Structure 1
Amino acid sequence: MFTVLIAEDEPLIRKGIIYCTDWAKLDCAIPLEASNGEEAAEMIRQHRPDIVLLDVNMPLMDGLDALLQTKGLYYFVPIVVTGYADFDYAKRAMYSGVQRYLLKPVVTAELEEAIRFAQQKVEKHRMMTHELARQTDVLQKLGELPEQQGKSQPVRQVMAYVAEHYPEKITIGRMSEQFHYSETLLIRRFKSETGINFSEYLTHFRLQKAITMMRESDMSISQIAEACGFSEYRYFRVVFQKKIGCSPAQYSQEVRLMRNNGNECVE
């Protein structure tokens, strides 16, 4: 169900749009009403409609000024309804993020088409919001890595080495030789100071990098796995599924869907 606000200072036109439109067929609640620009802006703030039909020429504040005052508060799709066919109004409306521009007298078929278009935009935005919440949930599932601050020099050196060389093959033995500590000391210190063993830390670090790459690059999953130090894709897939709760392919698909929705929802 979608919430609609109709901002129109002429009562006959406003009521005509409300009572001559089959809102149930459009999956919309009976619209909210505003009779001037200031009232429209306040109604938007209080009720957060999904779709706003607003007249350009209204008292106290015109429709586009009301739109500009409220556009950044949260997401809604504006549709301009006006008796002015002047192209300057159309240009100003488009600059304000309006993508549908209807002239009075409003034709029912054109209004319904504009509402359907707006609903698609709202649905895509809802989907994007859901995916963003899932992205946050993914990071929460993975958890935070221990910080270097307050750790002993051997542990800080290991963490710094991982940050610089995570795409490569890394072992405690190699770092033991690199920093001239015994393997036993590194293993014991790392576990006692971070709360996790070294292999868990390395896997966690690589997964974080993989998730970032999946969000920000167009690389294939196998390329990302290799770039993050997972030499075998099958192992990467198993670890990802265990830690994140879905396969890398599923997560990548959701990320790309979110990108596409985000690009289409920008106004």
Structure 2
Amino acid sequence: MRIQTIMIVDDEPRTRQGLKRILETKGNGRYHILTAEDGHSALHMLVDHEVDLIITDIRMPEINGLALVNRVEEKQLEHKPSVILISGHAEFDYAHQAIQLGVTNYLLKPISKEKLFASVEIALEACEERNRVNMMRKIVDSRLMVTDYSALSKPVADAVSYVNDHLEQVVGLKEVADHIQLNPSYLSALFKEQMQMTFSEYVTRRKLQRAKEMLLRTKLPIAEIAERVGYQTTKYFFKLFKEYEGCSPGQYRSEMTEEQMEI
């Protein structure tokens, strides 16, 4: 199991250390605990550490807890931490702002050990789920997901089905048009109108989608993956992959495998 990182931010040393002791004891080695005495220190630490959960007091000098959450949001971290706010006062404005910022929980002092630990578990689960969703977005081509395939006309649906069944081959518009007995120019126009992309773009996106799945689920060499999705030269496969994904197949495999191991 991956050790999850929790950052405790509070300007009161006793509170910081108290929360740290509780989580270290009840966590039984599952958490790596960082502490920061103020918002500035917390933001600085986020540069060097991937944090799963921030537990912060609301009332702190200079950068209070809500301002810290805002600053973290502005950073647009790839690994976005969950947040638990703690306060000695039940103030509606604070609670309302916390909800708007997507804070996982808002705890009032004094906090029982059981309530703290339960809130931490829920917040860490939320962080994991958010990261899983983000990873799926990187794997799945969003352009392929937005189409309502049930609303396609029969010729376009048949063309899509043919492409999906022949991803390991070089698939051309004329070949597909001949298969479904339709004029290529007419099929091209119909396909673009209903799929919101050209036939060739769809073929490329489907092939790259299959390639991404193989990059993550197998240890096949990249040259063999290129061949299995119908590209006769690895160089052309690399060119298309980088154009659509913004990185090489090797970088994609390395980065995504690392993220999968962390979740």
Q: TM-score, normalised by structure 1?
A: 0.53
Q: Which amino acid aligns with 1:135?
A: V
Matches within 5 A, 1:99-110: 99-110=104-115
Q: 1:94 aligns with which of 85, 94, 99?
A: 99
**How far apart, in 2, do the equivalents of 1:25 and 1:64 lie?**
30
Identity among equivalent pairs (%): 24
Distance 1:26 1:160 in 2: 64
- Looking at structure 2, the residues matched to 69 and 159 of structure 1 have their Cα atoms a distance apart, in angstroms, of 54
In structure 2, relative to structure 1, the CA distance for the partners of 1:62 and 1:159 (3 Å cut) is farther
Cα offset, 1:159, TM superposition: 7.2
Q: Is the 8 A contact 1:82 1:104 kept in 2?
A: yes
Q: Counterpart of 1:3 in 2: which secondary structure?
A: strand
Partners of 2:201 and 2:109 lie apart in 1 by 60
Number of the residue aligned with 1:28: 31
Report what 2:46 is aligned to.
44
What is the match of residue 138 of structure 2?
Answer: 133
* In structure 1, distance between residues paired with 2:123 and 2:134: 16
Structure 2: stretches of 5+ with no match in the other structure: 145-166, 172-182, 193-197, 210-227, 231-263
Consecutive unaligned residues of structure 1, counting only runs of 5 or more, are: 147-157, 168-200, 213-241, 245-267
Contact 2:9 2:35 in 1 (8 A): yes
1:26 CA drift (Å): 7.5
Q: Which amino acid in 2 is paired with 1:27?
A: R
- Alignment root-mean-square deviation, CA: 4.0
Cα 1:18–1:54 change in 2 (3 A) is same
Q: Residues of 2 paired with 1:203 and 1:47: CA distance? A: 43
CA contact (8 A) 2:26 2:117 kept: no
Corresponding residue number in structure 2 for 1:2: 4
* Cα offset, 1:208, TM superposition: 5.1
Q: In structure 2, what is the Cα distance between the partners aligned to 1:202 and 1:57?
A: 57
The aligned counterpart of 2:152 is: none
Task: Summarize the Cα distance change of 1:37–1:243 in structure 2 as closer, same or farther, 3 Å threshold.
Answer: same
Equivalent in the alignment of 2:148: none
Residues 94 and 166 of structure 1: CA distance in aligned 2, closer, same or farther (over 3 Å): closer
State the AA in 1 paired with 2:37.
S
Between structure 1 and structure 2, the one with the greater Rg is 1
Q: Within 1, Cα distance between the matches of 2:127 and 2:83?
A: 11
Which of 45, 55, 80 aligns to 2:85? It is: 80
**Change in CA separation of 1:206 and 1:64 when aligned onto 2, cut-off 3 Å:** same
Counterpart for residue 115 of structure 1: 120
Q: Count matched residues.
A: 168
CA contact (8 A) 2:4 2:52 kept: yes
- Specify the alignment match of 1:174 in structure 2: none
Partner of 1:61: 63
The 1:20/1:99 distance shift into structure 2, 3 A limit, reads closer
Taking structure 2 as the reference length, the TM-score comes to 0.53
How is 1:179-258 mapped onto 2 (pairs within 5 angstroms)? 205=202
Quick one: distance in 2 between partners of 1:208 and 1:16? Answer: 52
SS at 1:17 equivalent: helix
